[in-house]
A and B are shown apart, each in its own frame.
Chain A
Amino acid sequence: MSQGRAGFAYREGGGFLHRADARAKLAALVVVSVALTWASAGATAAIGVIAYVVARSAGITARELLHDIRLVLLILVVGAGARALSDPEGIVAGAFAGTVASGRFVVIIALAYVVSATTRPADVRLAVESFLSPIPFMHEKDWGTMFAVAARFFPLVSDEARRVREARKARLGDEQGWYTRVRSTAFGSLTRSFRRADTLALAMESRGYDSARTSLRKLEWESTDTALLAVTVGVSVLVYAL
């Protein structure tokens, strides 16, 4: 009864990104995301190509990526369309601006997908704790756990949506109109996700969850992590400058 791979879930691997320190990956993601906010169309496309190469090196195919983020893509396409229709400079300029803005989001989401697929939630927790520990009055252990649970929960939501879709299809749900299909899938997924979140919390509690916990894993910063961050910062500066 294999449940199959869920989108955004961590996948075992031994490549460069899998070995990289979670702090380096998260910091790089933040730096690139900020740089993309100002990126031109050309720079966004260039980062998109780099993101694709990085994804491939982590064993993620374009097909898997597009499949797992298709709902976000749909929302972005609608957003770009709305921008095209409402832009005071005309439909062509609006479509262009909307496509570039959506493209930036797609690239950021793709990179987040890669980080999520190559970083264990336990390492995400340690990285967040490490980032927040210098800040006074910040309960870094609780924040770390929150991020780790979110990283764990995202694939669960996607898994629930898949189950609801399959259950619907099995009873000729594809014969229904698109509105009914979307509504039933969204409602079913949401309900099941809440239930799953509740069970996840119970499972953590039943094993004595304590924010003052130790960790099996330890983050170790290597020279390659410094290199990864340096290259990311360099590329981001270029993106900003272009």
Chain B
Amino acid sequence: MIRVENVVYGHDDEDENEDTERTLNGVNMTVDEGGFVLLLGRNGSGKTTLLRHLNALLLPDEGRVFVDGIQTDEENGKENARRNVGLVFQDGASQVVAETVRDDIAFGPENMGLERNEIRERIDESARDVGITHLLNRSPYELSGGELRRVALAGVLAMHPDALALDEPLSGLDYEGERAVVERIAEANARGTTVVVATHDAEPFVGHAERAVVLENGSIAEDDTPDALFSRGLEEYGVRTPCEYR
């Protein structure tokens, strides 16, 4: 379970007008185990910053983030968050740290100190899960945007995280790529993985997500089921209403 308590980030001590500097401004949110939550909002609303707190890539200036009961800024908190919350960046290419797809997927399990055989098994398993077995020996430089996105997903799945935090996982993908990535995410969720997706386009996730949280200027503006939120429309927050609700 992930719990975000009154998180403030981006506060500048020197600035008298504190509110204008905050990227996150007192965010409270709980994501239950196995849940599927959409983080919605316009560009700059704080979605990416919030996602990075879940993986302890960022630590709150004020407030607390708990992953499986362990606070991210306490001892072992970072390690716990990074093992248990797999963060997939918006740009798949920027997440790649190795010269071949196989080595890249191995990166996380290597950091976990796993034995060679276990690493191999996890590479095969996660590559199969996202349908990139044929790409394992390829250089990431040769791959398309959609393929890179799946490589990035496989890289975090190989760590067997309890939760996935995905930042705009569909940006720049064509229809087929979009469908493939959404299917993989939904499958991971069906296997019990908690999913948090930051996106400004909720349409492909309708039917999968059970909850949607809307961020506006670093604060939570709405928090309800996708059905309830889309029925009344979210255009005022820069979120396009999915076709079936128009």
Say whether A associates with B: yes
Distance of A203 Cα from B123 Cα, bound (Å): 18
The answer to whether B144 touches A1, judged by C-beta atoms less than 8 angstroms apart, is yes
**Chain A facing B: main interface SS:** loop
Quick one: given A120-B99, A199-B94, are A207 and B123 in contact (CB under 8 Å)?
Answer: no
Interface residues of B in 20-66 (CB under 8 A from A): 55, 57
Quick one: given A205-B57, A206-B57, A207-B156, are A6 and B141 in contact (CB under 8 Å)?
Answer: yes
| CB-based nearest B residue for A202 | B57
Question: B3 on the interface (CB 8 Å rule)?
Answer: no
Question: What A residues does B144 contact at CB under 8 A?
Answer: 1-2
Question: A210 on the interface (CB 8 Å rule)?
Answer: yes
Closest beta carbon of chain A to B98's beta carbon, Å: 6
Distance of A198 Cα from B227 Cα, bound (Å): 39
Closest beta carbon of chain A to B162's beta carbon, Å: 14
Interface residues of A in 205-219 (CB under 8 A from B): 205-210, 212-218
The winner among A152, A199, A213 for most chain B CB atoms within 10 A is: A213
The answer to whether B139 touches A11, judged by C-beta atoms less than 8 angstroms apart, is yes
Closest beta carbon of chain B to A166's beta carbon, Å: 15
Question: What B residues does A159 contact at CB under 8 A?
Answer: 141
Closest beta carbon of chain B to A104's beta carbon, Å: 28
The count of residues in chain A whose C-beta lies closer than 8 Å to any C-beta of chain B is: 36
Question: B221 on the interface (CB 8 Å rule)?
Answer: no
The answer to whether A203 touches B96, judged by C-beta atoms less than 8 angstroms apart, is yes
Distance of A100 Cα from B159 Cα, bound (Å): 52
Question: What B residues does A120 contact at CB under 8 A?
Answer: 98-100, 103
The winner among B91, B107, B137, B144 for most chain A CB atoms within 10 A is: B107
| CB-based nearest B residue for A204 | B97
Quick one: given A215-B110, A216-B116, are A207 and B102 in contact (CB under 8 Å)?
Answer: no
Question: What B residues does A6 contact at CB under 8 A?
Answer: 141
The count of residues in chain B whose C-beta lies closer than 8 Å to any C-beta of chain A is: 45
Distance of A180 Cα from B139 Cα, bound (Å): 34
Question: B87 on the interface (CB 8 Å rule)?
Answer: yes
| CB-based nearest A residue for B85 | A206
The winner among A6, A10, A122 for most chain B CB atoms within 10 A is: A122
The answer to whether A212 touches B139, judged by C-beta atoms less than 8 angstroms apart, is no
Question: A121 on the interface (CB 8 Å rule)?
Answer: yes
Question: What A residues does B57 contact at CB under 8 A?
Answer: 202, 205-206
The winner among A3, A9, A210 for most chain B CB atoms within 10 A is: A3
Which of B99, B115, B116 is within 8 Å of A10, CB to CB? Answer: B99
Distance of A62 Cα from B139 Cα, bound (Å): 22
18 A-B pairs with CB atoms under 8 Å apart are: A1-B144, A2-B143, A5-B142, A9-B141, A12-B138, A12-B139, A200-B97, A205-B57, A206-B55, A206-B95, A207-B155, A210-B79, A212-B113, A213-B112, A213-B113, A214-B115, A216-B116, A217-B103
Q: Apart from A196-B94, A214-B110, A216-B116, list 20 A-B contacts with CB within 8 A.
A: A5-B139, A5-B141, A9-B99, A12-B138, A120-B103, A200-B94, A200-B97, A202-B57, A203-B94, A204-B107, A205-B82, A206-B87, A207-B86, A207-B97, A208-B111, A210-B113, A213-B113, A214-B114, A215-B110, A216-B123
Residues of A in contact with B (beta carbons under 8 Å apart) = 1-6, 9-12, 120-122, 151-152, 155, 159, 196, 199-200, 202-210, 212-218
